[in-house]
Amino acid sequence: MSSAEDDRIAANVAQWTKTNREFTDRDAERKWQDPQIYWGEFGTRDAWLGDVTGLDVVELGAGTAYFSAKLARAGARPVAVDPTPAQLETARRMQQATGLDFPLIEAPAESVPLPDANTLYAIATHLAGSTEFWAVQMASGRDVGRHRQAEFRATGDGPALIARYERLIAAIHDALDNLPAGAMERIPPQPPAEYRSTGGLGETLTLRDCLLHAIEHGALHQGHIQITRQLVVDGMQSLK
């Protein structure tokens, strides 16, 4: 960015740091706690957005990220981007207070350090991580050490991914093959809010609910992989 652009961003950060100190920090709790989405200066209640379950959303100029919080509650997967550290610090405080968890990135809208899209490797890694959590940890009670956000940044090669899935299949058999009678209706320790953001999950989940979610979520991302592969294949054929 040019020097003039840097100066403009610095002035913007200075102004919003002052505004945060005087108003937005103390107003954040009210806005984070309200799930209703409003539009415009007159606060018109939303009647147009529709179902956002499972959608990836990047909010630029997010401020204290209360709008991303509303989207997260509605089932989206938001990423809040803002250049002002004080605003993002307020957002972190509210995440801790509410249990909502989504990425907060300090950056101006003109230079967002996010990839253009998830790679097939990242989607496959996310699918493995999600399935391991819902089908293995929820059934066995064994902490699988999942790091959801890292899944979307994963890189590697085909053999490593195949080995990952072979370990996953073995772990699923270990967890599910010898479940006792009535285990499907058992209520395991409930998952964190971050993992409940897709699929229209209820408040209290049985093991049956968890396994069904693993299957549905897997089918969703398998469809993403198949569509992406077909687009790549069609693109390569068009170049011949």
What does the pLDDT look like over 97-154, one tens digit per residue?
999 999 999 999 888 887 655 678 888 999 999 999 999 999 999 999 998 878 888 8
* Residue 145 counted as domain residue: yes
Chosen domain end from 106, 133, 150: 106
Q: Are residues 124 and 234 in the same domain?
A: yes
Q: Are residues 97 and 131 in the same domain?
A: no
Give the residue numbers spanning the domain of 176.
120-238
Q: Are residues 95 and 126 in the same domain?
A: no
State pTM to two decimals: 0.53
Quick: pLDDT tens for 157-182. Answer: 889 999 999 999 999 999 999 999 89
Q: Are residues 78 and 49 in the same domain?
A: yes
* Residue 113 counted as domain residue: no
Beta bridge partners, 80, equal 59, 104
Q: Are residues 131 and 233 in the same domain?
A: yes
* Residue 112 counted as domain residue: no
* Residue 12 counted as domain residue: yes
User: What is the rounded CA–CA span in Å between residue 71 and residue 55?
Assistant: 9
Chosen domain end from 52, 77, 106: 106
User: What is the rounded CA–CA span in Å between residue 94 and residue 27?
Assistant: 11
Q: How many structural domains compose the chain?
A: 2
Quick: pLDDT tens for 17-60. Answer: 999 999 999 999 999 999 998 887 778 888 888 888 888 888 99
Q: What is the identity of the amino acid at 51? A: D
Q: Are residues 125 and 211 in the same domain?
A: yes
* Residue 114 counted as domain residue: no
Q: Are residues 133 and 230 in the same domain?
A: yes
Q: Are residues 126 and 102 in the same domain?
A: no
